[in-house]
Structure 1
Amino acid sequence: MSVPTVFFSGGAGFIASHTIPILLERGYRVRIFDSMLRGDRDRVDEFCATGQVDLVEGDVRYGGAVQHAMRGCTHAIHFATVSINKSIADPYESVDINVIGNHNVFAAAADHGVKRLVFASSASVYGDPQKLPMHEDDVLQPLTPYCISKRMGEDLLGFYQRTKGLSWMALRFFNVYGPGQKTEAYYTSVINTFLRRIRSGEPPVIDGRGDQSMDFVHVTDIARAVVAALESERDNLPVNVGTGVDTSIAQLAKILIAAVGASMEPQFNPRDVLVSRRAADITRAREVLGWEPTVPVEKGMADLVRASA
């Protein structure tokens, strides 16, 4: 019997580096498809040295390259994307990679009859939520080209499910963090800014009252959810992957001060701030994936502080 093989676009990235070891443990081969413009080549080389992983350097915007690389794969994970902050600065590139790229991967997966495709969607498809916690059936109001492309990706998956029987899961990731994340990443910039100040003996500065919040979910929990979605009996659903806990920026500052072992209070910069809050309803993840988050934000942040010391 042939070994199950996962086509993994964006497989040289941050979340992939935590997901691939679980796939290998579970007996999959992995074919990383990545442009390597931002990929971690050293980590990919380590994976390839196992003999269970190979790298195809390519761009998801080229449908023929995707079709060719998908050949012989039984499963697919699609992570290749342009980040949320870059999508506002350059909507053209965002639409090119995120929309055309999504379509090329989904079409190839449908053509090759893969058993399951897992798509990295995003909590940003909700826009500014009307209520917390955010549920998969809530109204979607994506605000940027990145967020719009994620919602469009989910709709395209539905199209290939209806026309070609593609089996898929779309994971709406909340605020992913953890070791190995690039320092300029959208969600980690606030963590890094606070840490730099605390370590230099200066209090973190918070705009407004620090009420704005995120649902910080650790990358090891995200990786487990990806593999669970690849293997779940249920399919063709979007699923929130978060912790259900909204951590305010003021709380985050205090968690990081404690993790560093400093003695200070955050400073507040009084000004009007658009308060956005995030917290996932993770009932569906529990029921459909059998998944629970295992890393509380205090422990995850403390580990991150130690790793970056």
Structure 2
Amino acid sequence: MPSTVLVTGGAGFIGSHLVPQLLDRGDTVRILDNMSRGDRGRIAEWSGTGRLELVEQDVRYGGAVHQAMAGCDEVVHLAAVSINKSEADPYESVDINIVGSNNVFKAAADHGVRRVVFASSASVYGEPDTLPMSEDGPLSPLTPYCIAKHTGEQLLAYYARRSSLTWFALRFFNVYGPGQKPTAYYTSVINHFVQRLRNGEPPVIDGEGAQSMDFVHVHDIARAIVLALDAEGARANLPVNIGTGIDTTVAELARTLIEAVGVDVEPRFRPRDVLVSRRAADISRALDVLGWKPTIDVRTGMQDLVDHEIG
């Protein structure tokens, strides 16, 4: 049956890919967003369906959150301050990412919401000792953003014990795709490489380029959220990794983007000591609990990004 879904931060990057999927399946969507980075043109387009409402408010205001929550069956909590901004302004990060999340989860519990899907992050793991990174592995959040994501998971568990709501905390790995700001933390290296390539210059890689990330396309992220909304309650109340399970090194990324842009250059390596960090998700739980697996490989996804967005 169609549901009424509240999506906090729904006018942002991930929301721009999630909301159309919710509307396509017949849901009514209520977006709560302060519109500091939201796309009003897209909101106007969605409003044409007659099944979308924008509540221009901030998750830090508990009364506004409670009012927006009334009548909702499900909640997707995306609103957050980014990882790089959290270090520049820890106070704002705690205010939005912890206090704001608590407001959302408390209101969901009070209003009898069935399911909350929380946009958590692979950053809760910190620097991994082994790959792939499992949900049951050690957690070592290193920044206010990472600490807030871990705290959000714990708050969800707290409210679930005291109400009828069920939840999933989806630990997103390195999300990328059309619509993402070029200054976003995990796409800055992509944007830098593409800008140089389009100027006929080789990408410059620190060290040997062995540092890696698990890049997951935003379309697959949106699919995972929809599946988490629909998953059986008996399988809920868990964190779930959402990645590809493949760690793509910076050197591999550079060569993929060279091919996507279509230039004849070779990467240039800059001798420099770097702290080699690697990330790859264990996604067996996502397949088992949600029936989810990625559908867009890095090569295809980077070509999509180059074709549509960066330039």
TM-score (norm 1): 0.98
Q: Does 1:125 align with 2:98?
A: no
Query: Counterpart of 1:245?
Result: 246
* Distance in 1, Cα, partners of 2:167 & 2:227: 12
Query: Counterpart of 1:60?
Result: 59
* Distance in 2, Cα, partners of 1:47 & 1:170: 26
Q: CA deviation digits over 1:16-38, x for unaligned, max 9?
A: 11011111122210000000011
Corresponding residue SS for 2:119:
strand
1:166 positional shift: 2.1
* Distance in 1, Cα, partners of 2:164 & 2:97: 22
TM-score (norm 2): 0.98
Opposite residue 302 of structure 2, the aligned amino acid is M
Opposite residue 202 of structure 1, the aligned amino acid is E
Q: CA deviation digits over 1:159-204, x for unaligned, max 9?
A: 0011223210000000000011111111111000000101111100
Once the two structures are superposed, the pairs formed by residues 42-53 of structure 1 within 5 Å of their partners are 42-53=41-52
Greater shift in the superposed pair: 139-148 or 262-271: 262-271
* Distance in 2, Cα, partners of 1:307 & 1:103: 36
* Distance in 2, Cα, partners of 1:141 & 1:8: 28
Q: Does 1:18 align with 2:29?
A: no
1:147 positional shift: 0.3
1:140 positional shift: 0.4
* Distance in 1, Cα, partners of 2:72 & 2:161: 21
Corresponding residue SS for 2:162:
helix
* Distance in 1, Cα, partners of 2:163 & 2:130: 36
* Distance in 2, Cα, partners of 1:219 & 1:42: 20
1:303 positional shift: 1.3
- 5+ unaligned residues in a row in structure 1: which ranges? none
* Distance in 1, Cα, partners of 2:174 & 2:126: 14
Query: Counterpart of 2:38?
Result: 39
Query: Counterpart of 2:257?
Result: 256
Q: Does 1:227 align with 2:226?
A: yes
* Distance in 2, Cα, partners of 1:130 & 1:152: 22
CA contact (8 A) 2:212 2:248 kept: yes
Corresponding residue SS for 1:164:
coil
Query: Counterpart of 2:293?
Result: 292
Opposite residue 150 of structure 1, the aligned amino acid is K
* Distance in 1, Cα, partners of 2:90 & 2:35: 21
CA contact (8 A) 2:174 2:214 kept: yes
Opposite residue 126 of structure 1, the aligned amino acid is Y
* Distance in 1, Cα, partners of 2:160 & 2:115: 11
Query: Counterpart of 1:199?
Result: 198
* Distance in 2, Cα, partners of 1:228 & 1:135: 20
Opposite residue 58 of structure 1, the aligned amino acid is Q
Opposite residue 301 of structure 2, the aligned amino acid is G
* Distance in 1, Cα, partners of 2:66 & 2:55: 12
1:307 positional shift: 1.2
Give the share of equivalent positions with the same residue, in percent: 67
CA contact (8 A) 2:113 2:164 kept: no
Opposite residue 160 of structure 1, the aligned amino acid is Y
Greater shift in the superposed pair: 125-134 or 43-52: 43-52
| Runs (4+) off by over 4 Å | none
Q: CA deviation digits over 1:31-51, x for unaligned, max 9?
A: 000000111111111111111
Aligned-CA RMSD value: 0.9
Corresponding residue SS for 1:294:
coil
**May I ask how many residue pairs the two structures share in their alignment?**
308
- 5+ unaligned residues in a row in structure 2: which ranges? none
Once the two structures are superposed, the pairs formed by residues 20-169 of structure 1 within 5 Å of their partners are 20-169=19-168
Opposite residue 236 of structure 2, the aligned amino acid is D
CA contact (8 A) 2:109 2:165 kept: yes
Query: Counterpart of 2:208?
Result: 209
Corresponding residue SS for 1:134:
coil
